[in-house]
Structure 1
């Protein structure tokens, strides 16, 4: 009995949308459908990128990394959210909350750097086409991707640890649907100025620095593309960057409003909206953005479906 009581005291209560109970059923359906689409879309991108020889290039190597990242992020947050939307207790265990905090923050940090690397890949392809195979060779791509994942998880280890050790004096109720740094720091019963400073510094490094690099890289790309005389070639060059720019916009706007601010000014309502956006909307839309705007991916999917069809009819 003592262990059960102690366990309950260590649990966190995620109120989520409980202040609007009439919203919970439609939100459950919407989130479930979005999660299914995110699973289907990202798994499809990963499979075609690895199985189709025509997509064996650095660009699709990084796109498949992004899809795996989005797939992992939604899986670390959405199932618990669905359980709480249908349940009465709205709880998450202490261990589950810490795991969710660490994994989600690690994947978000990784995506910040990965998007900057994908911008550099587009720069090398458009501005240095003759040297592109040498610049973005397989070994270098693997090293860049590995460094991105290691950096993201290392950053999460620092931020998560500093957040977890902050005294909460028994406070465990969060008006949120997932465990995030700003929401957990709101529960602190001590001065959190050190945590806020650390959060802002690391947030600026992992959000603003890659974003600044992306903007700078695209300035070079635009300048190079404008020198192309052929309108068709110019449009093709711009089109190869459009998907990446759209993904960057969908990711960086909500993340910047969440993490480059003092947690003391954190708004739970805005936090929930932004978390929904980069936690569900963006991972669901990313594979479709790359599929709908990319002829190579669409052709690869059609080939895969055709092969599957012929295998089943034999």
Structure 2
């Protein structure tokens, strides 16, 4: 293929350099084409090809710088975004729409599923138990006499248990009137034996309890009546036993010293003998001092080596 009209200016495709692109060839006017124009076209294309890799490198370098700045200033950027509430403008819209329907729909479906599962199980068990009870009830009417006997036995057992519970309380509160003897001074100075009744608690040793009350002396009301005790102060009863109608009364040493003389010894012995012989089982009294029998009581010569009775005075 040739261009031009004159044979002298005719150019063939073979004469065009290979580096020249077809686009540059089309832009050349064949009437004005010369080797100068072809050189300029080749230089322009070469510059474009050389600038292309430089532009890519520059773009990559800029991206690296931007990424580095973002990494170093990541914390500051996050703080500014949080302070400006940039992300919160988008989150609540989605979260509220997603969260509201979920709790409303799911628990309702679970509750509906759970209730019917429990309901059928309960009625299934009820009919199984009811016939079993019915069969037992049918068998029970035959021994109808047994329930009638049961209530009759229970009231009989209850009073038996209650009776012993009240008995010890009554024993503790039980008292009995006992006779004690004190002395009373007359206008002429003589001593007269006087009987006094006292309520004393019931015990297993009534004689010992009555003599202990005698040694305690008269009460305030009895003193107002002029009653006194001639038994020496500090006298104590150590033991009291009864054998064959004789009461053996063991006193301490203080019992043998009386400051009133013969009348005082006689009066204290009368108080003891008359009080002890009030018991039907006692006919006489044997006086002992610290477990020993003495011939005489005190220095006045009152004999106590044998049992004393009311007739001894």
Instruction: Normalising by structure 1, report the TM-score.
Output: 0.19
Higher percent of residues as strand: 2
Larger RCO: 1 or 2 (CA < 8 Å, sep 6+): 1
Higher percent of residues as helix: 1
When Rg is computed on C-alpha atoms for both structures, the one with the higher figure is: 2
Instruction: Normalising by structure 2, report the TM-score.
Output: 0.19
